[in-house]
Amino acid sequence: MKFKSLLFTAVALALAAGAHAKSIELLNVSYDPTRELYVDFNKAFAAHWKAKTGDNVVVKQSHGGSGKQARGVIDGLPADVVTLALAADVDALAAVARLIPPDWQKRLPDNSAPYTSTIVFLVRKGNPKGIKDWDDLVKLGVAVITPNPKTSGGARWNYLAAWEYAKRKLGSDDAAKEFIAKLFKNVPVLDSGARGSTTTFVQRGIGDVSISWENEAFLAIKEFGADKFEIVVPSISILAEPTVSVVDKVVRKKGTAEVAKAYLDYLYTDEGQEIAARNYYRPRNQAIAAKYTANFAQLKLFTIDEAFGGWAKAQKTHFADGGTFDQIYAK
Amino acid sequence: MSIAAISLPRFSRRVLPGFGLSLGFTLAYLGLIVLIPLGAAFIKAAGLSWADFLTAVASPRVLASYRVSFGISLLAALVNGVFGGILAWVLVRYTFPGRRVVDALVDLPFALPTAVAGIALAAIYSKNGWAGQWLEPLWVGTVHRLAGWIPWVDWQGWLGKTIAFDRAGIFLALTFVGLPFVVRTLQPVLAELEPELEEAAATLGANRWQTMTRVILPELMPALITGFALAFARALGEYGSVVFIAGNMPMHSEITPLLIITKLEQYDYRGATAIAVVMLVTSFVLLLLINLLQKWSRRYYRV
């Protein structure tokens, strides 16, 4: 009897202790290549939050093409935070569905982009076609792999990087358009997302060069071996700023505003920046970046605001129906 | 026993509840599953002005995708009609070791997630895949030779350059998903068709060709047309497997469902539903025509 009551007390105490530590669940809706990054980051954040508040937080991840993911959230996927490939897709949450305020990008430092990346070339070992810079991609007989910019966020960065290179070198938008048209003549397959393109290039053996996120290129080398592929860094490229935001309407309903904000803030801490760097994203924090200079080649980077006057404008000129991308195929 | 005792009651009782209830159920069910979702597409598309609707559904790129989608679906269904017919014949008429396995394999395209099928096909038929490394040079050679013989046709434009990641890949994927429809509609009809019919034809002096065209095919025709129609309809709507193997080049190997997805990616819900409505109406008309053809064939051949 005595033993039984002791057991009962123990169980009751355990239950009470368990009830004390809250269990929180967050959903982070992200884009294709961040899988590995957020697996690491979520683990670190859960430990940090547990130490700080005693609560358990489990972060679920959802990945896919950036545009598709944004549409999922607009259609009702209850994301507490979004961490998407480009500001235009987060803008859609504000413009199409009013889930977040229009000035969302000012709420966090560095345009709400805690880490950056850029666009580089992944080529086959030994670089048999001798690809060094963007103008090698339009040469006759070079097969280029890039996803469809209409469906892939990464592909839009690729497209704009090539455009700006051509514009600076050849001097005009018309010449840049011609350059892009020539480049896309060399593209034999248009996958719908960045991961699909990497698969086509790496596993199906199609193409001589894949235009790719820097982190995706590093990952391909890590997964498939440095004996098969190498990275070529062009003379100039675009500073890709994948942006993050709390989804206000969702966190208000779920009561997760505080932890969701802390989650994104944690991306800017030393630990967060270190995890990003380890996963081949360029950290914003200069001290951390200095530790990883070996990973990140120095090259001239321009931002989308400098070169194209922001995403909304670039989207309209180049990727909307009837934009330059449609025009080069309409001929 | 008088005759009155065994005559049926005036209102015969059926096993299942009567007409009113079952029709009501049918309509409610169809409404929830088919009509309301389709109606929603029409309503969404109706939000567009006439000019916007036209630019959405008749831009050159969309028109090119109709040609690809309808053309290759038709081709795939025709090929399935012939080879699915042979397959069904073999499965019904002959016993051989492993017949049950082959029979079960036919259902695989039904059950397999189409994305898996697409990835598998792309892996096998791409130029470093185990079938593609032999077939691709053959295919490229054939296209070249055709261009040599009949130079005024744009063979490369029509047939594409490679197998995977080109039009031939779309054809492969659509043939794959359509095959079970033909086989499974033909099988029961073939099983009903007695071999005695052929024997009777033979004793009456018909040669093999005549037995085939005059006796067997007329009996099979309605089922064959149904199977063809099902395979064709399935191919038109197929998305998952095709995008992995099509190459998705604008104006050349983009299927219409991909353009619908592309529009959705740009938050152009109305444009997407507008294309969907065009596909819907066209498919409906085509299926209706095929149904009429089937009815006609039944009457024609029964005489």
Predicted confidence (pLDDT) at residue B16 exceeds the cutoff of 80: no
Helices (H), A21-151: 35-53, 66-74, 87-95, 109-112
Return d(Cα B185, Cα B162) in angstroms, integer. Answer: 33
Share of chain B above pLDDT 70, in %: 93
Q: pLDDT tens digits, residue range A5-63?
A: 655 555 554 555 445 678 899 999 999 889 889 999 999 999 999 999 999 999 999 99
Domain A116-240+299-330, CATH: 3.40.190.10
Interface mutation vs chain B, best among A150, A199, A315, most B CBs within 10 Å = A150
Return d(Cα A28, Cα A146) in angstroms, integer. Answer: 26
pLDDT at site B3: 47
Q: pLDDT tens digits, residue range B174-220?
A: 999 999 999 999 999 999 998 888 899 999 998 999 998 888 998 89
How far does the CA of residue A35 sit from the closest CA of chain B (Å)? 20
ipTM for this prediction: 0.73
Return d(Cα B274, Cα B70) in angstroms, integer. Answer: 17
Query: Under an 8 A CB cutoff, do B268 and A190 touch?
Result: no
**Does A192 touch chain B if contact means CB atoms closer than 8 Å?**
yes
List the one residue out of B228, B232, B241 whose CA is nearest residue B279: B232
Give contacts of A 240-299 with B, CB under 8 A: none
Question: Which residues of chain A neighbour B249 with C-beta distances below 8 Å?
Answer: 187-190
The stretch A213-242 carries a mean pLDDT of: 91
Return d(Cα B287, Cα B183) in angstroms, integer. Answer: 19
Q: Higher pLDDT residue, A219 or A267? A: A267
Predicted confidence (pLDDT) at residue A96 exceeds the cutoff of 70: yes
One DSSP character per residue, A211-273 reads EEEHHHHHHHHHHH-TTTEEEE--SEEEEE--EEEE-HHHHHHHT-HHHHHHHHHHHTSHHHH
The answer to whether domain A13-113+241-267 has CATH 3.30.70.141 is no
Cα-atom radius of gyration of chain A, to the nearest Å?
Answer: 22
Equal CATH topology for A13-113+241-267 and A116-240+299-330: yes
Is residue A77 helix, strand or coil? Answer: coil
Question: Which residues of chain A neighbour B127 with C-beta distances below 8 Å?
Answer: 204-206
Return d(Cα B292, Cα B270) in angstroms, integer. Answer: 33
CB pairs under 8 A between A and B: 70
Return d(Cα A322, Cα A306) in angstroms, integer. Answer: 24
pLDDT at site B21: 86
Residue A141's contacts (CB-CB under 8 Å, 6 or more residues apart) are: A129
**Does A68 touch chain B if contact means CB atoms closer than 8 Å?**
yes
**Please, are residues A153 and A314 in contact by the beta-carbon 8 Å criterion?**
no
pLDDT at site B1: 42
How far does the CA of residue B33 sit from the closest CA of chain A (Å)? 20
Share of chain A above pLDDT 70, in %: 94
Predicted confidence (pLDDT) at residue B105 exceeds the cutoff of 80: yes
Question: Which residues of chain A neighbour B261 with C-beta distances below 8 Å?
Answer: 151, 192
Residue A287's contacts (CB-CB under 8 Å, 6 or more residues apart) are: A270
pLDDT band at B2 (very low <50, low <70, confident <90, very high): very low
Return d(Cα A306, Cα B298) in angstroms, integer. Answer: 70
Which chain A residue has the Cα nearest residue B62? A330
Query: Under an 8 A CB cutoff, do B243 and A326 touch?
Result: no
**Please, are residues A67 and A153 in contact by the beta-carbon 8 Å criterion?**
yes
The fold of B50-126+164-302 is: MetI-like fold (1.10.3720)
Is residue B227 helix, strand or coil? Answer: helix
- Would you kindly state where each structural domain of chain B is located, as residue ranges? 19-48, 50-126+164-302
**Does A96 touch chain B if contact means CB atoms closer than 8 Å?**
yes
Residue count (chain B):
303
Which chain B residue has the Cα nearest residue A149? B262
Helix (H) / strand (E) containing A199: helix A194-202
- Would you kindly state where each structural domain of chain A is located, as residue ranges? 13-113+241-267, 116-240+299-330
Predicted confidence (pLDDT) at residue A234 exceeds the cutoff of 50: yes
What letter would DSSP give residue A281?
Answer: P
Q: pLDDT tens digits, residue range B128-146?
A: 888 999 999 999 999 989 9
**CA A236 → CA A73, A216, A298, A319, B256, distances in Å?**
34, 18, 10, 22, 37
pLDDT at site B253: 92
Residue B138's contacts (CB-CB under 8 Å, 6 or more residues apart) are: none
The stretch B15-37 carries a mean pLDDT of: 86
Query: Under an 8 A CB cutoff, do A67 and B266 touch?
Result: yes
Query: Under an 8 A CB cutoff, do B271 and A321 touch?
Result: yes
Entry pTM: 0.81
The 10 Å CB-count burial string (b at 16+, else e) for B76-94 is bbebbbeebbebbbebbee
List the one residue out of A219, A287, A284, A164 whose CA is nearest residue A33: A219
**Does A329 touch chain B if contact means CB atoms closer than 8 Å?**
yes
pLDDT at site B302: 58
| Angle at the Cα of B171 from the Cα atoms of B169 and B172, rounded to 5 degrees | 65
List the one residue out of B186, B189, B275 whose CA is nearest residue B231: B186
Per-residue tokens: A168: 């600076």
Question: Which residues of chain A neighbour B239 with C-beta distances below 8 Å?
Answer: none
**Does A321 touch chain B if contact means CB atoms closer than 8 Å?**
yes
Is residue A300 helix, strand or coil? Answer: strand
Predicted confidence (pLDDT) at residue A260 exceeds the cutoff of 80: yes
